[in-house]
Structures are given as C-alpha cells and as structure tokens.
Structure 1
C-alpha cells in the first residue's frame, strides 16, 4: 500500500547551513505526488529508477536517464513520481556554486551522480573542515560544469491548459483534436487556440509535438526501442514517428544518439575526463 507521508515532511533542507546536502528517496515510502513547495536552497533532482516529472516556472520538466532537473532556490515547484521511483536530491545554498539562475535540465555525468549518492550518506550538519565538506565542494564544482539539455515543455498556470498538459503527460498517445479538448474544458476551439498560444507561445499542434519529443528522448535514452516509443506516442507507424523526429531535430533517432556519443567522446577528451565523465555539449 502506498505511504501517506509526503517527501517534504521528513526533511527540511533549509535547516542545514552547509553548502550542500543530499538525500536518497524511495517513493515506495512516500506519496507519489509532492505538493507545491519552496525552499531557500536550490535543488537538483536525479532519477535513479522509475520516472519523475517536475512542474516549475510554468513548465513541465521530465527527468530522463543521465540528466537531472535543477530548480533554483525560491522557485515554487511540485514533483510527481512513479511508485517504483528512487530519487537523489541535492540541495545547494544560493551562491555556493556557479549554478543556473533559472530552472533547466542538466546532463549529469556518472561522477556527479556517484558524488551526490555518496554525499547522501553523510550527516547534514557536517563540519566545515570535514571529509563531507570537501565532498560537497567537489560535487558542487563538478555540477557547475554540467551542460544543459532540453527536456522541458512550456505549460501555464491557467487551469485549463494545465488540465490538458496533465492528461497528455500521463497518456501521450491521446490523439484528441484541439476541438475535442475545447469541448472537454468548456471553451470554443478558437478561444482555446488563442489561450494556448498566449500561455505557451506554441500552437496546440506544436506544443503536443514538443511533448512527444520530450517523452521520446526520455524513453530512447533509457534504451527503449523506436517501435516501442512510436506505439507509446500513438503513431500509426515507425516511419511516421521517425519523420516527425527528423523534422524537429534534424536527424533520425539513431543519428541523434550517434551524434551524442561523438560529442560525449569529444567532451571527455577536452575535459580530460575519459572513463569518468559522461558529458555532452548543448545541441
């Protein structure tokens, strides 16, 4: 049976004055939905197992393998995790490292992932000259060098746009038209089209395509077959999915991930992190 405890009720990162603290969470022990909350420290969310989706800054952030979502301190956010999700949280004091000032997805190297997990085994009130303090500093220094990825989807505080976003995030294969959604949220199709552009900057068709790309990149990065992803997103054929992917990103899924491997290799050579890092450059 799922736990009735909220993950935010068992640990307050702002009670610790240290530059960085970390926690490991198994969502079999907590409610799947973490309500909107805010804290002084910035937060990095890593998925070790299962799936997690964050909502912050009027955008949906899907946490794919080898990436993490960075949420600056003072930013209201919520989290939805699958029951089997196991997450790593890293909390960093504002100004403790040169980290992004806005929400973003960061590519995370195996080294950073292991450093966060190792720091989670330390007490949160470690002394400034302790091994834990040095570990925290190395973790923050490495995290500051991680490049950004693009696994986010603009949404809105508008309840009707949010309802559509929530439904399609759960069931991305839903092929309902804009007119269908307009009826569901009690609006005219024209009014909903205008609202979508005003709130997200995208037409409904472009917005849903961006959702499909975010989900596809997450699934493909985790090792899912192209056929499986095409089916999950409701495409009639693999070719139709590949055509959409290539039109949006300029390459087929196979080419895209081959290019990522090349960039990874080049990044390792430049940083001298061969055998340690897993960096990629911005697209």
Structure 2
C-alpha cells in the first residue's frame, strides 16, 4: 500500500510524491494489465479515477462506473471502492487533499474529460512540472471539473448461497437465458423462495437484477466502441433494439449517448 492507501502496482506505488506543500493534487500513472483489480480500499484524500488509455471500472457499493478516456469518476475521501480493468488500461491516480480543494462532490460523481482536461492531467502527471506551473494548472483543472448526470449501473449479489449461485452464473454469462424456475431446479430451491431472496437481499426483483447485470456487462465493450449489434447478443438480448430499449428504460439515455463526448 502507498502512503495514502492506494495499492501498489508491479511492486511500486501508483502514486508519486507531492512536489510542493501547497499543491492540492498528487498524481501518478501505471499500466494495469487485462483483468487486474485492486482490492476494495479507501483513503482520506478525494480521488479522480481516470484512464488515459483503455477502459477503467470502479465499483462502489451497488454502483458500477465504466470510464473510457472521456470520463473520470470523483471518489470522495474515505469511500471504499474497487477499481480494475477487463482489457487493460493506463490508469492515472489523481488524489486531492480535501483541505486544499475548492470544489467538493459529496457522492461518487462521473466527470466529463474534455481534450483540454486530458492534456492537463498528462501535464500534471509529469514529475518534472515545477511547483508554480503546477499550482496554475491545478486551478484550471478545478475550473474544468464538469459532472455528467448519469445513473450508475449495476447491482450487488445476494448473500444466500442458493441465490448467490444464480447470481454467479449470470455474472459469468449475462446471456444465460434460464428462467428463475430453471435455476431453482439447479440450486434445489423453490422459485418463490429465490424470488423472495432477490428482493430481500438486493432490493430488486430477479428480472430487474438480471437487467442491471446485463447492462453493466455491456458497458466496457460499449465504451471501447464495439458495435451495439455485437454487444446485444453478448449480454443476452435477441436484437439490438431490445438492448437499446432496456438500456434507455434503466438509464434514461440511449447507449450511444451514455459515453458521448
């Protein structure tokens, strides 16, 4: 672990030491291999999770945020979170000292990363940026932090072993189209029992939970530019239009607009 609680990557801290006592941000960068996940952790600093290349995923409670380079996530200090990538990513660790921060988001908040903000993040990651230019660049970054109004997608699994078997099967293969009755035979439980467990332990019906898992599984390929026609079948929808309709009902926007610049 680094001094601010961030796990290390490849035997070294992801985070660079601060360059001056009066700077607000600490930056670092590391290449995460495909399938790499940090364990759930927290730190007193706020964090802006962002990937300059690839797609980053952040899980906080029931929330599931997928971040291509055009998006970042503000994680408030002392918030437990889990970060990783399916296909590999160049992650920038951006940590903000709360007492030196002129902006504050009280909850995890997706941010729009414009081309200018992208360049500023790269500029501030360089270890040889002098303190005075660093302070000026930080001030511009704070001015450019623009929230994106989106609904986080995802759902936590139930804890009961029988319902958890169903949840694990669907997480492994979101396109699994077995009904709750068919799953019930497999896990030796009555369909009504499983239905009650999903509502009691996830706050959602089985159908709602399955939809959230399917949509969450669709976000990384969507962020990577995979055509919707390919994504739909991969996550269990018979047609692209069925996938688009389910996405719009759950999130409020179409898949094509979710990551739009």
Would you say same fold, with TM above 0.5?
yes
* Pairs within 5 Å for 1:55-134: 55-82=59-86, 84-95=88-99, 96-122=101-127, 127=131, 130-134=132-136
Query: Are 1:142 and 2:147 an aligned pair?
Result: no
CA distance in 1, matches of 2:122, 2:81: 22
Residue segments in structure 1 that go unaligned for 5+ positions in a row: 262-277, 279-283
SS where residue 34 of structure 1 aligns?
coil
Distance 1:180 1:88, change over 3 A: farther
CA distance in 1, matches of 2:252, 2:198: 26
SS where residue 75 of structure 1 aligns?
coil
In the TM superposition, what whole-angstrom CA distance separates every residue of 1:58-117 from its partner, at most 9, and x where no partner exists?
Answer: 433222452122211101112222353222221111250323111232232222222112
By how many angstroms is 1:148 displaced?
3.1
In the TM superposition, what whole-angstrom CA distance separates every residue of 1:201-224 from its partner, at most 9, and x where no partner exists?
Answer: 321211222333344455445432
By how many angstroms is 1:192 displaced?
3.5
By how many angstroms is 1:227 displaced?
1.0
Partner of 1:39: 43
Q: How many residues align?
A: 250
Query: Are 1:190 and 2:192 an aligned pair?
Result: yes
Preserved CA contact (<8 Å) 2:154 2:215: no
Preserved CA contact (<8 Å) 1:19 1:136: yes
Partner of 2:4: none
Task: Give the alignment's TM-score, normalised by structure 1.
Answer: 0.70
Preserved CA contact (<8 Å) 1:105 1:152: no
Preserved CA contact (<8 Å) 2:53 2:68: no
Preserved CA contact (<8 Å) 1:69 1:104: yes
In the TM superposition, what whole-angstrom CA distance separates every residue of 1:185-206 from its partner, at most 9, and x where no partner exists?
Answer: 7765434433332343321211
Preserved CA contact (<8 Å) 1:107 1:149: no
CA distance in 2, matches of 1:83, 1:221: 11
CA distance in 1, matches of 2:127, 2:96: 15
Residue segments in structure 2 that go unaligned for 5+ positions in a row: 1-6
SS where residue 230 of structure 2 aligns?
helix
Partner of 1:153: 154
Preserved CA contact (<8 Å) 1:58 1:157: no
Task: Give the alignment's TM-score, normalised by structure 2.
Answer: 0.75
For 1:20, which of 25, 28, 33 is the aligned residue? 25
SS where residue 69 of structure 1 aligns?
strand
Partner of 1:204: 206
By how many angstroms is 1:247 displaced?
4.7
